[in-house]
Each structure stands twice: as structure tokens, then as C-alpha cells.
Amino acid sequence: MLDAQDLQRLIEIITEEVIAAGRTGTVTTRCACHAVGNDCCPDRLRVVLDAGATRLGLHAEGALPSGVAGVIDHTLLKADATRAEIEKLCREAAEFHFATVCVNPAWVAHAARLLRGSAVGVCSVVGFPLGATTGDVKQYETRRAIYDGATEIDMVINVGALKSGDLRTVERDIEAVVEPCRQCGVTSKVIIEAALLTDDEKVTACTLSKAAGADFVKTSTGFGPGGATPADVALMRRTVGVEMGVKAAGGVRDLEGLKAMVAAGASRVGASAGVKIVQESKGQSGAGAAPSGY
């Protein structure tokens, strides 16, 4: 149960977001499953997907254009990833022009050296995959990753604190990572691990992330009990509005999966199958995924 101070803080945050949302428009219909906007459910998106519609600069002209690579974080986060696999990941990222490579902290410096001079960023995970380290440890991990060359940070929230109603700890945990990112001009993403949360908890996690000044909210680590779903992406997009990014990660393995996430509101997608997805968008086939299980 929330104490009075935490409850008041949550009410203040949600009130601010509701007022802000009211300035940009009102929601006239609400879905039965989440009681939020009418773009929440995959069933309500089906007509849009069938028509080939996407968002965020992707053109609905049959297959997505080659620019699809620009929304993908090319990802390899398995514990036994080798130097050769990381180097392959970076070569592919440079060749296909992915947004970033997403790697564990131990590989950040090497990836940054390999990608120096390219337009591809280096994304490091922090507090990964459980989120159960303390905020000061996550802050140090963030600063070290930035020092090593990370241009984006994907941090995992303290899921247990959130589910315990300890919102103060969750907010401070996020701020501990967002602060050094902001100081260094690095993009911050907050992984909420949606598969472990109720819809109310997802909304709370996204609201706290926005209040802490994060740049993105992200669905999943890819190591939890489930990955990204269009319904979760749409709920997160509705919660954070247009000001923040939403990253879908976990289980996006083909072009249709990516299209569904983008149509639901994702502005970035984390995938190990990035090469396959880009080749599908060009009408090619035969590409495999990087061996990450992400």
C-alpha cells in the first residue's frame, strides 16, 4: 500500500500529465481492456495494419523502405556473446545503418572503437536484466558506460519497488540514470519489464519515467517472461504522449512484427533480427538473426 506522501506524489504527477494531454486533444473513445485511448488494443489497430499504415516517417507503400533500419537497435545481449559476434554485430550495424548497437557494458568500449566515424550509436544496458541493483550502482554503471563511449543507456527499473508501491524509490532509481545522461547529452531509456506489471503499474512506471525526464520508455529486457506486445506499446504511448520515445523490445523477429509495433506507437525497436527485417523490407530473404535470444 502507498503511504500518504507517495500517493500524493503520484496524484500530482498524473494530474500534470492529464492537464498536459488536455491541451493537445481529448480522447473520445476508450477500449474495454485498458480503459485508455482507442488506439490501445491490437484489434482496434487491425484495420490500420491491414491498410499498411505506419508512423514516424515510415511510408506505407507495400514494404517499409530501407529507412526502417533507422528505428532498429541492433541487439546482442546474451551472456556468452563472443568478441567475434560483437564485431559482426558492429559490421552489420555500419553496413545497414541501424540506429545503434545494443550491447552489454563490457563490450561498449570495443563497439565504440569499431563504430567510430559511423553514424551508428552505441547503446549500453544498465541494471540489466533484473533491475534489482541500487540507484547509486546504476548511476556509476551509467557513467562508466558513457565514459566508454555509450551514446544511449537502457536502464531497468526496480520492478520489486514498483510492485511494492515504493514510488519514491522507483523515481529516484530512474533519476539516478537520467541525470548523468542529461549532463552528457546521452539518450536515456527506461525498461519497465511490462510482462511483470499490471496495466496500472505500467502506467505508473511510464508516468514516473516521464516525470524523471527520461527520453524513452521501453517495454522489455527480452529476458523476462514476455516481450513487447502492440497493446503494451499503445498503452505506453498513450501514457507518455508524443514528447517521449517508446521502444519495443523482445520478440520482434520479422518485418510484420516491426510494423505492428510502429503502428502501435513505437519509435524505436530493439531486435537481434535487424538484418533479416531490413532485407525483408527490401523484398529480400534468407537473412538470419544475430544469436541473442532478444
* Catalytic, out of 148, 154, 173, 232: 154
Cis peptide before 129 (omega within 30 of 0): yes
Question: What count of other Cβ atoms lies within 10 Å of the Cβ of residue 118?
Answer: 13
Query: What amino acid is encoded at 36 in this protein?
Result: V
pLDDT for the residue 41: 46
Q: What is the pLDDT of residue 16?
A: 64
Integer Cα distance of 208 and 205 in angstroms: 5
Q: How many residues does the chain have?
A: 294
| 55, 263 contact by CB (below 8 A) | yes
**Which amino acid would we find at residue 129?**
P
Whether 218 is a known active-site residue: answer yes
Domains of the chain: 4-281 (3.20.20.70)
Query: Mind listing the pLDDT tens digit for each residue in 217-259?
Result: 999 999 999 999 999 999 999 999 999 999 999 999 999 999 9
Given 189, 210, 247, 259, the catalytic residue: 247
Closest CA to 138 of 193, 181, 195: 181
Q: How far is CA 40 from CA 33, 35, 59, 75, 238, in A?
A: 8, 9, 22, 27, 8
Beta strand pairing status for 100-103 and 121-126? parallel
Any residues with CB less than 8 A from the CB of 215 and at least 6 apart, and which? Answer: 181, 187, 188, 189, 244, 245
Q: Is the dihedral of CA 142, 147, 149, 151 positive or negative?
A: positive
* Predicted local confidence at residue 67, as pLDDT: 75
Q: What is the pLDDT of residues 127-151, one digit of tens each?
A: 999 999 999 999 999 999 999 999 9
247 is catalytic: yes
Q: What are phi and psi of 243, to 5 degrees?
A: -75, -30
**pLDDT given at position 24:** 47
Q: CA-CA distance, 52 to 260, in Å (whole number)?
A: 10
Instruction: Quote the CA–CA distance of 211 and 204 in Å, as a whole number.
Output: 10
Q: Within its chain, how far is the Cα of 7 from the centroid? A: 27
Q: Catalytic site residue 189? A: no
**Which ranges of the chain have pLDDT less than 50?**
24-66, 287, 289-293
Helix axes 274-281, 255-264, angle to 10 degrees: 90
The answer for residues whose C-beta is within 8 angstroms of residue 163's C-beta and 6 or more apart is 196, 197, 201
